[in-house]
Amino acid sequence: MPKIKTHSGAKKRFKLSKNGKVIRAHANKSHILNKKTTKRKRGLRKTTVADKTNVAQVKRLVPYK
């Protein structure tokens, strides 16, 4: 059976942890930074785990990661 192609956009945005969880970055961190608190901006830099409703779709897009 042929291999599945990896989605180029998804491979740049998502990683899989050792336990198979999908790791993603936060959104809304690059513009209008004056009104956001330092604490909020610092928190947005960190990665987080994707919601369980999106995991199956992301794993289909990034099959070999």
Taking all residues of the chain, what is their mean pLDDT, rounded to a whole number? 93
d(CA 6, CA 58): 10
Spans of all domains in the chain: 8-61
What's the mean pLDDT in 28-35?
87
What pTM does this model have?
0.82
Q: Which CATH number fits domain 8-61: 3.30.70.100, 3.20.20.70, 1.10.1040.10, 4.10.410.60?
A: 4.10.410.60
Positive or negative, the CA dihedral 53, 54, 60, 63 is: negative
> Is the pLDDT assigned to residue 20 strictly greater than 90?
yes
Instruction: Provide the pLDDT for residue 49.
Output: 97
Q: Write the DSSP symbol of residue 15.
A: E
Instruction: Provide the pLDDT for residue 29.
Output: 78
Exposed / middle / buried, residue 58 (Cβ in 10 Å: 0-12, 13-18, 19+): buried
Instruction: Provide the pLDDT for residue 12.
Output: 95
